[in-house]
Every structure is written in C-alpha cells, then in structure tokens.
Amino acid sequence: MPESSPTPTRRGRLLRFGAAVAVLFALAGYLAVQYLTGGAGEPRCRVVSGEGDDASYEFTPEQAVNAATISAVGTSRRLPERAVAIALATALQESNLRNIQHGDRDSLGLFQQRPSQGWGTTKEIMDPTYAAGVFYEHLAKVPDYTRLPLTVAAQRVQRSGYPQAYAKHEPDATMLAAALTGRAAATLTCEGRPGTTPIGGPDSVRAALVRDFGHEVLQEAGADISAQGDSSAPDGTASSPPAAASGPASAPASGSPSSTVSARTVTVPVRKDDSPGTGVRGWELAHWAVANSSALHIERVSYAGREWTAGRREGEWLRSGTQGAPAAKEAATEVRIVTAQ
C-alpha cells in the first residue's frame, strides 16, 4: 500500500524547519566573514564639515587617494582652495573619483579626458597626477574662474553635454577641498585597513609624497625618514650612515620597540604657511597621509597634538600622548607618519 503524503500541517512544519536551518547557515556565514574581515565590509573614509554643521560625505579608500592627489597637485601649483573644489566636483561627476579606463568615445581617467582632443596620450591621462595637472592648466586660463559658479567654471574646461551635472557635487567637493587643503583641521578620517597590494613602508610613503606634491615637499620642508639603517637621502640619493652614538644617549638597540617604530616612521617637517599659527600646511599633509592609509599601509598619523590610528572604527583624531606620539608643542612643526612595515 503506497505511503500517504505528508499532511498540510506536517509540510508546514518541514518548510519552517528548512527555512530556520537556511537562516542559521546564512548567519553563520555572515559571522565568519565578519570575523575574517575584522567585522566590517568595504573600508570607508569620511569627511565632515568644518563649519559646525552636521554635513558629511563618505567615500572609499580608492576615491580618497585620487582626491588627495587632485588636491595636492592644485596646492603645489599655489592654486586656491576654490580651484581644488572645482576639480574635485568635476572628477566626482566624470568618474566618481575613480581612475577608469573607459568612457564616452575615447574618454579616460578621473576627468574623462580625450586623447583625440589634445588632452594627452592614453598613458598620460591614466596618470592621476598628470590628469589633475592638465585640468588645472585649462582651469587657470578661464578668466575669473574663482568668481564663477562652480558649474560654469567646470564647464568652461570640460565642454560637457550635461553642464549642470557638476552642481550636485559641489557640497561634497567643498568639504573635501577644505579638508585636503588643510583649512579644516582634523575633519578627514579613514578606517585605514590595508589594501591587498603589498605597497607600504617609509620608501613608498616618500615616493607617493613626491608623486603628488613634487620634489619640493621633501627638499623644501627638509623631510626626514627616521629609519635605523636607511641609506636613502630625501632626494633618493644614497647617503652616508649616521655616526654611531656613544654614552647614555646612544640610540635604542636594534629590535627594541622604539627602534622598530622609528624605522617605520616618516617625519615631515612643516614649512611655515601663509597664515602662521593656522597649521594649514600640516593638516594638508596629515589628511593626505590618512587618505593614503589603506594604499600605503599607514597605521598612525600625528600632527599638532592630535593623532589618527588605523583600525579605530570611529576614525577620530584624538589628543596625542600615547603610543609614542609626539608632544603637542612639538607636533605643530612636523607630521609623523608611521607605517605598518
């Protein structure tokens, strides 16, 4: 005699049991991923308004690196903050601050510049430093661009088919520009989880500084890499090893905690900016380092008595004085960047 089929009530129980098992498996998988990735999804960066309101903008480490490059290229050319805001709003609209290899017709890169229209070669346009520089070259030729509405100034450079599209990015670009040019202190943070690339260490930080700011950032400011046994001078040439110290003031033994941190520290003395006491240049360099923290495996940045540490979920700039951070009265003259390797 054939077996009777399950009753509706029994079928309902089986379905509910199966659904509960599926949920438990999904939850277990989610918790495993959270454990393996440090309890978070894609790492984030955040900039907040320095005007005392609640405005903020969140973005990815990739976007942060590109935004920092755009800003550094502008300030290195002694262009005003407004120029940086215009460039950032343009890149947000054209590529969402990503260095993409496609676009309308032959458009490429952060600003969707076209080789066929004389913006440069494909290789040049895909270099964010070059792309930002050529954008600023065209912007500087626009009469009174700092007084024009952002959409008008951007359109004079881009000749876009959608000239009003830049306007929606102005608030975010303005906040980013204020932070990355250093005017708004301690307003840019990142989670700082290391990227998948092996790039990191003091040499990589120094190379990236030169890439974005030019050689002057090291030569003019007299940047120093505080590394035991580092044989490279700031300009990339070999230098003589320091004379061995003697007596009670000798350097910590190799392998000690303090010497290990010293070997991973880039100390960038801050030149006097146009407004003494404001710390604009220092905060520009400090925010640049935080924006590059995932890409360059930076774990700590200190400036002006404040310290950012990678992995701190809220990403605050806290008062320094712990973990070997510089004293507040000294920190205003230098930015210290500690790498993870």
Q: In this predicted structure, what is the pLDDT of residue 325?
A: 44
Whether 96 has a pLDDT exceeding 70, the answer reads: yes
Rounded Cα distance between 256 and 48, Å, is 38
Rounded Cα distance between 135 and 157, Å, is 7
Give residue 2's pLDDT band: very low, low, confident or very high (50, 70, 90). very low
Is the Cα dihedral 26, 28, 29, 30 positive or negative? positive
Contact 67, 132 (CB under 8 A): no
Whether 225 has a pLDDT exceeding 90, the answer reads: no
Whether 19 has a pLDDT exceeding 80, the answer reads: no
Average pLDDT along the chain? 79
Taking only the tens place, the pLDDT of each residue in 117-136 is 999 999 999 999 999 999 99
Taking each helix axis from N to C end, the angle separating 170-180 and 61-76, rounded to the nearest 10 degrees, works out to 70
Give residue 240's pLDDT band: very low, low, confident or very high (50, 70, 90). very low
Type of residue at 28: A
Taking only the tens place, the pLDDT of each residue in 7-17 is 656 665 666 66
**12-26, 50-64, 128-142: least confidently modelled range:** 12-26
- Return phi, psi of residue 301, to 5°: -135, 130
Q: In this predicted structure, what is the pLDDT of residue 51?
A: 86
- Select from 111, 101, 112 the least CA-distant residue to 73: 111
Contact 285, 268 (CB under 8 A): yes
Give residue 255's pLDDT band: very low, low, confident or very high (50, 70, 90). low
Whether 56 has a pLDDT exceeding 50, the answer reads: yes
Rounded Cα distance between 237 and 231, Å, is 8
- Burial class of residue 213 (count of CB atoms within 10 Å of its CB; 0-12, 13-18, 19+): buried
Give residue 312's pLDDT band: very low, low, confident or very high (50, 70, 90). confident
pLDDT mean over 45-62 = 92
pLDDT mean over 139-165 = 93
Chain centroid to CA 329: 26
Q: In this predicted structure, what is the pLDDT of residue 257?
A: 53
27 versus 260: the higher-pLDDT residue is: 260
126 versus 227: the higher-pLDDT residue is: 126
Q: In this predicted structure, what is the pLDDT of residue 122?
A: 95
Type of residue at 115: P
Taking each helix axis from N to C end, the angle separating 61-76 and 128-140, rounded to the nearest 10 degrees, works out to 50
Whether 60 has a pLDDT exceeding 70, the answer reads: yes
272 versus 5: the higher-pLDDT residue is: 272
Give residue 31's pLDDT band: very low, low, confident or very high (50, 70, 90). very low
Whether 230 has a pLDDT exceeding 60, the answer reads: no
